[in-house]
């Protein structure tokens, strides 16, 4: 039994006039028939499975549907079609530095984030020092969170999330934060977690990182699944596609057996 199974998932995303318009505008536009809500498929027929200890890299240009897919895996969104089954708990790190409260202190934020990730108070009490040490924020514990630099915020977020041994860990552009030294440290930590048996999903714009860390790769483009499989082959093709030496169709042909 796979630890994570994403079966033929399609997600329809709503966009259009409904955002940021007030009641008056809504009524006016309804009356003048100028009210448009468009739907588009952020993801279409995406399927993959993930086993223990595997690390899946998701690549694709901006707007390919990566983040939306991750939200479905994390359970924040529900797939419009298809289904996702998870065996075990999911820890999702999406857009790291957001979701913190600027008015609270580092310590309070750490506890709040820990609670959001489903940790217990006991666990937080035990690992709090370790988290702060890992994030190198010992001197900032009682400072308001908004005084921290964005690098520090991401370091804290990473440190908290990496404390637990989740069955499924989702990382969205996580490793691209922090300076060189912290990057090394976080990569080492990542490898430790994967070795501990977690299944990990990584979204990164750094292709070299994906090549180095991931055991398989899912390539999305405009919500469509181009391929899912071997890291080296897919990264190579993706690089060629980015360099515009091949088109998407040629890449597909290359992949066809």
Binding site for another protein (CB under 8 A): 13-15, 18-19, 22-24, 26, 71, 74-78, 90, 92, 94-95, 98-101, 103-104, 108, 111-112, 114-121, 124
Which one, 114 or 178, has the nearer CB to another protein? 114
Residue 95 CB, nearest distance to another protein (Å)? 7
Residue 216 CB, nearest distance to another protein (Å)? 25
Residue 100 CB, nearest distance to another protein (Å)? 8
Residues 6+ apart with CB under 8 A from 31: none
Residue 215 CB, nearest distance to another protein (Å)? 26
Phi and psi at residue 218, to the nearest 5°: -115, 125
Q: Which residues pair with 18 in a beta bridge?
A: none
Residue 119 CB, nearest distance to another protein (Å)? 7
Residue 105 CB, nearest distance to another protein (Å)? 9
Which one, 101 or 230, has the nearer CB to another protein? 101
Which one, 14 or 232, has the nearer CB to another protein? 14
User: What own/partner pairs with CB < 8 Å and gap ≥ 24 does 249-257 have?
Assistant: 251/226, 252/226, 252/227, 255/226, 255/227, 255/229
Which one, 66 or 251, has the nearer CB to another protein? 66
Which one, 100 or 182, has the nearer CB to another protein? 100
Residue 98 CB, nearest distance to another protein (Å)? 5
Which one, 26 or 34, has the nearer CB to another protein? 26
Give dist(CA 224, CA 242) in Å, integer.
Answer: 17
Which one, 70 or 135, has the nearer CB to another protein? 70
């Amino acid at each position: 039994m796979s630890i994570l199974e994403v079966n033929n998932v399609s997600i329809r995303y709503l966009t259009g006039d409904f955002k940021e318009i007030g009641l008056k505008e809504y009524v006016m536009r309804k009356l003048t028939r100028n009210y448009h809500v468009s739907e588009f498929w952020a993801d279409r027929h995406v399927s993959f499975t993930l086993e223990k200890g595997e690390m899946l890299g998701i690549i694709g240009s901006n707007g390919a549907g990566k983040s939306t897919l991750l939200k479905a895996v994390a359970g924040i969104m529900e797939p419009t079609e298809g289904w996702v089954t998870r065996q075990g708990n999911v820890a999702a790190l999406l857009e790291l530095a957001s979701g913190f409260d600027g008015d609270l202190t580092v310590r309070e934020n750490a506890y709040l984030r820990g609670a959001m990730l489903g940790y217990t108070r006991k666990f937080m009490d035990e690992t709090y020092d370790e988290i702060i040490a890992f994030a190198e924020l010992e001197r900032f514990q009682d400072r308001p969170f908004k005084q921290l630099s964005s690098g520090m915020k991401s370091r804290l977020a990473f440190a908290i999330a990496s404390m637990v041994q989740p069955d499924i860990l989702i990382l969205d552009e996580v490793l691209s934060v922090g300076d060189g030294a912290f990057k090394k440290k976080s990569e080492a930590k990542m490898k430790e977690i994967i070795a501990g048996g977690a299944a990990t999903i990584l979204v990164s714009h750094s292709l070299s990182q994906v090549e180095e860390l991931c055991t398989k790769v899912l390539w999305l483009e405009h919500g469509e699944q181009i391929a899912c499989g071997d890291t080296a082959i897919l990264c190579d093709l993706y690089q060629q596609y980015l360099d515009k030496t091949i088109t998407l169709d040629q890449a597909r042909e290359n992949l066809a057996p």
